[in-house]
Amino acid sequence: EPEVTQTPSHQVTQMGQEVILRCVPISNHLYFYWYRQILGQKVEFLVSFYNNEISEKSEIFDDQFSVERPDGSNFTLKIRSTKLEDSAMYFCASSEGGTSGTNTDTQYFGPGTRLTVL
Amino acid sequence: GQNIDQPTEMTATEGAIVQINCTYQTSGFNGLFWYQQHAGEAPTFLSYNVLDGLEEKGRFSSFLSRSKGYSYLLLKELQMKDSASYLCAPDNYGQNFVFGPGTRLSVLP
């Protein structure tokens, strides 16, 4: 069964450094997403991406963050100048897209990358 | 904007039935998703309701009332492995998921 994959599973970085989190969405999916989950808190939406551009972003997704689809398979989240409070689990998700209000909206999540900022 | 409310925690016994409620207020609504999240893992899809009523899928069923902004997830014949957080998420035209705060279910032997 196709699945979303993410690398690395755990990333440790120093405060102020840049990190790139990588995701490979399910191959026939058209919509891609990033979420984060700070330990013990709820899953929070960061950004959605469709047709090579951001379709929606949350207040969390400020200038520190950027996303890119550098090739036909990868979808990346870049965090510039990391802060201690960026420590969280980052989930990538993808959905097939299509007719609104159907199961094609179902988002499938990758296993996550745990980011630790020291 | 969106406002989603779920109970924070619930406890039930193995073999029992539990109902996890979710109320929501959203600016746009197509349907409602339920996801399961085990500690330290990613959310996994459980169900999607578009129409009012109950949809049954094995031990798990999900109910939706669009007019009341209300949904519930019904888990029957509880097993220890059902201990997890259950997240409801209104489908906002397939755009961002705003997950509810999640209900942490503990299943006791």
pLDDT tens for each residue of B39-98: 999 999 999 999 999 999 899 999 999 999 999 999 999 999 999 999 999 987 656 678
**Nearest Cβ partner for A110 among B42, B45, B93:** B42
Cα–Cα distance for residue pair B81/B14, rounded to 1 Å = 10
Kindly report the average pLDDT of chain A as a whole number.
92
Query: Is residue A109 scored above 70 in pLDDT?
Result: yes
Q: Is the dihedral of CA B93, B32, A44, A32 positive or negative?
A: negative
What's residue B93's pLDDT?
A: 67
**Nearest Cβ partner for A100 among B30, B37, B41:** B30
> A3 at the B interface (CB within 8 A)?
no
